[in-house]
Structure 1
Amino acid sequence: MRGRSGRLVLPRVVAAVSASALVVLGCAATAIAQPVGDAPVDTPAPDEVFNGYVLGTFEDATIATPQEIIDGATGHDPFYDEPPLHGDEAPGTLLKAKPFDVLFTVVKPGNVSAWKIMYVTENLDGSPDIGTGVVMIPDDGRDNATRPIVAYQEANDSVGARCHTSSQWSGGAVGDASAWSALGPLALMWGQGLATVISDVGNDADPAPHGVFAGKYAAKTLLDGVRAAFAVDDAGLSRDAPVGVFGIAGGGVGGAFAAELQPTYAPEIDLRATVLEGMVVDQRNFIRFAGGGIGSGFVFATLLGLEPQYPEMRLDEKLNPAGKALADVWRTQCQNSYFFTPFLPLEAMFTSGENPADIADFQHVYDDNRLGVGDAPRSRILITSCGADDSFMSVVPAQDSRDLADRYRAMGTDVVYRPSDCSMSVFFTNLYRWGTDLFGMQTVDWLATELSRP
């Protein structure tokens, strides 16, 4: 925790300018939906985003030293060196924890305590694996044992190493889109006193390709990250704390599977509520819908992020030289690279000339990653996504989210479905609402309300 002796003029100016810009953009902001029961799903006002706690983090922020900036950017932290496993460690076993100063770009925000964690998790075949992540808690005077916890699965689809959350929040993976998209939701969560646990989906520094698109694997890393966070003594979180899941885009798949698996995989976690936004519900439909469009690069990356947990896909044997060359590069890169290949012709990457949605060897993988066909989530679910397939930012089929809501309801799960409007008209007339809703910020009040129930 850093006191007011570390306050700087620059962060105050940044806060004032940012707040002013949001107020200007948000003057026309309106709620996207009427309250459902006693849990509203509304676009937050600028003063809710720049709440008292957040303004304090600006006031008490410091600028990192040149050495801290270099160390963060290179990301070579010996913390990620894996200890040998004995084979009898239960999933969620904390292997080590390390306090660190949150560092985003060159700014170290004040009044937040953070730890990197390394823990045991589980591959899809049941073998043990090692995951890393971060625990971040606002320093607001509240007893940490009384805090609800949010298991946050970011919109991070990076297949490469040192691209994930524990790098992002300690000065690495600079410019990663998922970290920037998390700023608003985290500001709202910390402003409400919520502790946050974010998984790297594997060991962030592992040079092998990361299985970020394997939903059940991502779910286990998220749930095991929460288990490990309970064991960080200095954090002081309660094992009886109410827990919520917040998953968006690629993280929404892991978040949804976490809700489905929790009753059997981690029944001791008191999972109360789950927020899912913009996730791929059915990978076949996603590939057909987004392939060849603005999200085509992410479609190709999806295959690369499945193979580590489904090695029988044998991608290299099916890719032609152009496809293999691109795959070799992306297996080492962060997700921002995928934005540079919109309209990528997927069929032209494979020797068969097939759409990867139709390749026979991949069908069981798509089946295993389809949401809403396993166990019923017991937590309450809020699903939100762009509500129309012709919306400006539609990358996943809108109908799939509606279908998922229906399937969960048929299982007996309490579901709230509230789509957002990502249309061009909202983009030009109410950019504030368009942006905040795209990042899921309108759902945080709902989540906090659910976690505050007795």
Structure 2
Amino acid sequence: MRRLRTTIAVATAAALATLAGTSLAPAQAADDGSVSVTPALGDVVNAFAVGTLLSGTLGSPSANFEALTNSDPFYDETGVDRYAEHGTLLKSKAVDVMFLGFQPGNIRAWKVMYPTTGEHGEKVISTGILMVPDDGRPDWTRPLIGYQMANDSLGPNCHPSGTLTGSKPMDAAAWSALGPLAMFFDRGAAVMVSDVGNNGSQETHGVFAGKFAGAAMLDGLRAALNLSKQERGLRLARSPKIGLFAVAGGAVGAGFAGELAAKYTPELRIKATVLEGMVVDMKTFFKYADGTMGSGFAFATLLGLAEWYPEWQIDRDLNLIGRALAKVYRNVCQSPTYFALPFVPLKSLFKDRVSPADRPKYQQAFTDSLLGQAATGTPQGKVLVASCEEDNSPLQLIPAEDSRTLVRWYQEQGVDVTYEPTDCSMVRLLTNPYGWATDLFGMQTIPWLFDTIEAS
């Protein structure tokens, strides 16, 4: 077994080195004033990450069966007090992190369930997963990272507390989190990842609603700290330094978490926030993404929002094909289904052939989901906003100017915000796929995140 673990570790590092075409030497900061640092492979496949592979083991048949059949009873809400105070730890369960049937060593993890706030102030249940590296460092010295993954799945059992413990192994969201998690653990951070809802719920997951996603992120951090008060094997500081990190769909929630925190969770010491590639303005997102490579993601976003706005009665507006696609989307994870509508105009899924961005009854939802509103609040601590510098990639779903508009608004409100443009071009994808991919997952911002937390 030890020989197998060694083989896995060496093969993983060698394969990544070959694919990336980069050295294992630590990355160096750019000398052009940029705060981005493209990580060298050794920063990702770092000593801690290799150690988790060497000390890990294959998951047992029963563990794999439970994960792959989505039969964990943890998600049953029977008997829990959904009206308890936000962030109350309703239940927890010690688990093993597992991916592709392999359980890496030296990581403690717990699933947690807690009450949070829905888009319109409702009390709802969310779950999530807290992960802590076993690296010899006292828990009370660790920063706590709130991480919202790039997970836009509408279906059940597609969310982080499931995918990071073995379910849905082929969904892209979990794969995109491997690099950031490796870098977080190497820096000694505890990491709390919210599911933005109950992962096991059979209802359609409305993960795209910003206020809900933000509250779920903040209450997940509260639940993690409440777990630390109760769990004998966990001793986080009572008020640790906190960083928020998220990319794409997850960054909508992190953006709202930052804006809500001063009023919603004033006790949390949020020192730094990284937002990359997020939807700032839903209306411009639908105008931009509709009919592109990302039409499927735009359609999923619409269906997710519709869960919080039943007055839309969206199925009545969809035509036969639209309703059939909606039925599929509501019950699956994002990969590969959301990639299945490239270049399809969304108006073709509606009876009246009116695009989502132009439908009058959707406008209030778009306004509710707009980042950068005085009524919501402004972020605490320092903020880094990273986004594509230009609209020059067919894979891009968000207009570049939206992020710059948000940054200008933050600056006007006195927020300590840095804008970091990213080269998303196809030229860079073809000439530097490693740098393009690490930027896509936000990994170039992680040194700034930790430097800012440690300096605060």
TM bucket, shorter chain: over 0.9
The alignment status of 1:13 with 2:10, answered yes or no, reads yes
CA–CA distance in structure 2, aligned partners of residues 47 and 293 of structure 1: 36
Q: Which amino acid aligns with 2:7?
A: L
Is 1:317 equivalent to 2:316 in the alignment? yes
- 1:221 is aligned to 2:220: no
Alignment check: 8 A CA contact 1:7 1:61 kept: no
Deviation at 1:415, TM superposition (A): 0.8
Deviation string for 1:172-226 (max 9, x for gaps)?
0111111111111111111000110000000001001011000110001110000
**Cα distance in 1 between the residues matched to 2:361 and 2:137:** 52
Conserved 8 A contact 2:29-2:35: no
Aligned to 1:331: 330
Contact 2:26 2:43 in 1 (8 A): no
CA distance in 1, matches of 2:439, 2:159: 23
Contact 2:25 2:42 survives alignment (8 Å) = no
Question: Distance in 2 between the 1:339 and 1:452 partners?
Answer: 39
Amino acid of the residue matched to residue 153 of structure 1? Q
Task: Work out the CA distance in 2 between the residues paired with 1:92 and 1:51.
Answer: 33
In the other structure, the counterpart of 1:53 is 48
Give the corresponding residue for 1:90.
85
2:411 equivalent in structure 1: 409
- Shift of the alpha carbon at 1:107? 1.1
CA contact (8 A) 2:208 2:249 kept: yes
Q: Distance in 1 between matches of 2:16 and 2:251?
A: 29
Whether 1:105 aligns to 2:100 is yes
Inter-partner Cα distance in structure 2 for 1:119 and 1:235: 18
Deviation at 1:235, TM superposition (A): 2.5
> In the superposition, relative to structure 1, how do residues 187 and 22 fare at CA in structure 2: closer, same or farther (>3 Å)?
farther
CA contact (8 A) 1:11 1:61 kept: no
Post-superposition shift, 1:30? Answer: 8.0
How do residues 179-258 of structure 1 correspond to structure 2 at under 5 angstroms? 179-232=174-227, 233=231, 234-258=233-257
d(CA) in 2 for partners of 1:113, 1:85: 25
Are residues 1:284 and 2:286 paired? no
Q: State how far apart, in whole Å, the 1-side matches of 2:81 and 2:290 are.
A: 44
Change (3 A) 1:316 1:23: closer
Q: How much does 1:28 deviate?
A: 12
AA of the residue aligned to 1:323: G
Please report the TM-score for the alignment, with normalisation by the length of structure 1: 0.95
Structure 1 residues 28, 298: closer, same or farther in 2, change over 3 A?
farther
Task: Provide the rounded CA distance (Å) in 2 between the counterparts of 1:408 and 1:33.
Answer: 25
| Residue 160 (structure 1) aligned to one of 155, 160, 182 | 155
Secondary structure of 1:137 counterpart: strand
C-alpha distance in 1 between matches for 2:82 and 2:179: 40
Distance 1:210 1:32 in 2: 39
Deviation at 1:329, TM superposition (A): 1.2
Q: Is the 8 A contact 1:26 1:433 kept in 2?
A: no
Q: Residue in 1 aligned with 2:263?
A: 264
Question: For residue 351 of structure 2, what is the aligned residue in structure 1?
Answer: 351
Question: d(CA) in 2 for partners of 1:136 and 1:283?
Answer: 32
Q: Distance in 2 between matches of 1:22 and 1:145?
A: 38
Q: When the two structures are superposed, what TM-score results if normalisation uses the length of structure 2? A: 0.94
Tell me the residue number matched to 2:305: 306
Deviations 1:274-310 (A, max 9, x none): 1001111111111111111100000100111112222
State percent identity of aligned pairs.
Answer: 44
Partner Cα distance (2:27, 2:393) in 1: 19
Q: Are the counterparts in 1 of residues 22 and 40 from structure 2 also a CA contact under 8 Å?
A: no
For 2:13 and 2:45, the matched residues in 1 are separated by 10
Aligned pair in 2 of structure 1 residues 285, 28: CA closer, same or farther (>3 Å)? farther
SS in 1 for 2:126: strand
Partner in structure 1 of residue 443 of structure 2: 441
CA distance in 1: counterparts of 2:330 and 2:23, whole angstroms: 39
Q: Distance in 1 between matches of 2:196 and 2:402?
A: 24
Tell me, yes or no, if structure 1 residue 381 matches structure 2 residue 378. no
Q: 1:32 and 1:452 mapped to 2: Cα distance?
A: 17
Distance 1:422 1:28, change over 3 A: farther
3-state SS, counterpart of residue 259 of structure 1: helix
Check whether the contact 2:87–2:220 (CA below 8 A) recurs between aligned residues: yes
In structure 2, what is the equivalent of residue 130 of structure 1? 125
2:166 and 2:176 map into 1 onto residues whose CA distance is: 16
CA distance in 1, matches of 2:28, 2:403: 21
Q: Which runs of 5 or more structure 2 residues have no equivalent in the other structure?
A: none
What is the DSSP-based 3-state SS (H/G/I as helix, E as strand, rest coil) of the residue aligned with 1:354? coil
Is the Cα–Cα contact under 8 Å of residues 137 and 194 in structure 1 kept in the other structure?
Answer: yes
